A and B are shown apart, each in its own frame.
Chain A
Amino acid sequence: MNPAVRRWVFLAGAAGLAAFYLWGLTGLPGFGNYPGPYGDIINRIAVAQTNATGVVSAVNFEYRAFDTLGEEFILFAAAVGVSVVLRRLRGERERPARDESMDRNLAPTSDAVRMVSLVLVGPTLVMGWYLASHAQTSPSGGFQGGVVLATAFILVFLAGEFLIFERISPLAAIDAAEAAGAGGFAAIGVSAVAMGLPYLTNFLPLGSRPGAVSSSGTIALISFSSASKSPPPSS
């Protein structure tokens, strides 16, 4: 099928899709008129039931924790899949890195980039830790904190300190952190079963008052384990 025919087939398909989509749009209640009921029910009972004021994280790690567990394993499977697809096959040999054009003068990393990157590593780490530990109180969460934590490592790479980057992110430690994150999530669920409760029940004490960092039981723990799971796929 040559490109022109493909384009016309696509336009015909897009026209059909647009017709069905507009037909479906007429049945919607319109933007801004959310009719409920699930969002309203969760908003009403989440804070009382879990002592977590961050309702989105409560939904992610408590009411729908099983979906989040599946999502963790999607991440894990993607990391394993990439390492399998890019493995060294039998007929291939890994060639040591050769400088292909030695007469090319590379501009050294500018001092401004190096300084700003290294200065930002500390605040990025603090920010990532804050995001990971405050899932239950304010807009944040395990995944977001994990991504920001991974950015701290990448900032070191950006500053041109490749040797330090290799030393602070050894493959073995990254694999261990990723496995600990995924396994920790599943283990928290299993320990609920060991106490005779359904899988992934929130069995830890719920904390003194809503909005405290140490509130909401297993939500904080699960958020930590997903935070330790997110940096490895990024790096």
Chain B
Amino acid sequence: MGVFPFIVVAWILTVGLYGIVTSRHLVHQIVCLIVVQSSTYVLLLGVGYRRGAAAPYFSDVSVHTPAVDPVVQALALTDVVVEAAVTALLLAFAVQAHKRFGTLDPQELVQFKG
């Protein structure tokens, strides 16, 4: 049980990367990028976890209760927001690519030199 969450991280990362490499549709590629970024959330939250500890919110428990690491949770929050912003921009690029080249297949788009 000591490293199982981190194996899950590696699996999610590899599956997402495989999807990006072998994708035939830009939107599918963008969703695979989202999957890759999700693996970093699991990694961040897994690093900060303490067995048997409470969430770092002390409104109903005493301040001296052992709690998990709040800093990595704040980092994961930022990570989610950055992912949303990147996805929005990438989807806009996909729309423009379809408008200019008529295709959304990344393996055909490689031939166009802009």
What is A's interface to B at a CB cutoff of 8 Å? 3, 6-7, 10, 14, 17-18, 21, 25, 28, 30-34, 36, 38-39, 42-44, 46-48, 53-56, 58-60, 64, 67-68, 71, 74-75, 77-79, 81-82, 85-86, 137-139, 141, 143, 210-211, 233
Tell me if A's interface is mostly helix, strand, loop or mixed.
helix
Check if A55 sits within 8 Å of B85, measured CB to CB: no
Query: Are B4 and A31 touching (Cβ within 8 A)?
Result: yes
Option from A7, A36, A75, A141 in Cβ contact (under 8 Å) with B85:
A75
Residues of A within 8 A of B2 (CB): 30-32
| A71 CA / B88 CA spacing, docked (Å) | 15
A77 touches B77 (CB 8 A): no
- Interface size of B by CB at 8 A reads 48
Residue of A10, A28, A71, A85 touching B17 (CB-CB under 8 A): A10
Cα distance A232–B51 in the bound complex, in angstroms:
39
Contact with A along B59-85 (1 / 0, CB 8 A): 100010001111111100110111011
- Minimum distance in angstroms from B70 CB to a CB of chain A: 4
Smallest CB–CB gap between A68 and chain B, Å? 7
In the complex, how many angstroms separate the beta carbon of B79 from the nearest chain A beta carbon?
9
Task: Decide: B51 and A33 in contact? CB cutoff 8 A.
Answer: yes
